[in-house]
Amino acid sequence: SIEDCEIIEVPKIKDPRGTIAVVEKDVIPFETKRVYYLYDVPSDASRGGHAHKKLYQFLIALSGSFDVILQDGKEQKKITLNKPNKGLLIKPGIWRELENFSSGSVCLVLASEVYKEEDYIRNFEEFKLFKTR
């Protein structure tokens, strides 16, 4: 459920030269097989609009901010990501939409699997059936 999608703080090391945040071993509950990032997203654009059958993802606003709307078929919640050391864990079977991207924002995504279109549920009716099976 969306209750299991949580904000996870990424440990950081800060000194007068700036800050390093490190995602390794036990920070997120999966091994990363793919990294991608969204950038140059127009402020009126909506991304996502799908769920995944098996994929785990960890989203970080490396720069700027954006909103993530999560739905599990029962409940909905909106989370604003705006810190480079706080990410959102999205578990499988959750419908997500990303919107309200600030100018210059970058969304980094760590994913548990390589890209597979078969893992996507891009139709909301199909998603609801998937949730009730």
- The footprint of ligand T46 (CB under 6 A) covers 34, 36, 38, 47-48, 57, 96, 98, 109, 115
Spatial neighbors of 26 by CB under 8 A, at least 6 apart, are none
In contact, 21 and 41? CB cutoff 8 Å: no
Please, what is the minimum distance in Å from the beta carbon of residue 133 to ligand T46? Answer: 21
52 is a catalytic site residue: no
Nearer to ligand T46, 15 or 44 (CB): 44
Q: Is residue 61 within 8 Å of residue 83, measured between CB atoms?
A: yes
Q: How far apart are CA 73 and CA 129, in angstroms?
A: 9
Three-state DSSP state, 2: helix
Q: Nearest approach, Cβ of 67 to ligand T46 (angstroms)?
A: 12
Catalytic pick from 32, 48, 50, 131?
50
User: Minimum CB separation from ligand T46 for residue 128, in Å?
Assistant: 18
CB nearer ligand T46, residue 12 or residue 39:
39
Under 8 Å between Cβ of 30 and 112: yes
Residues assigned a catalytic role = 50
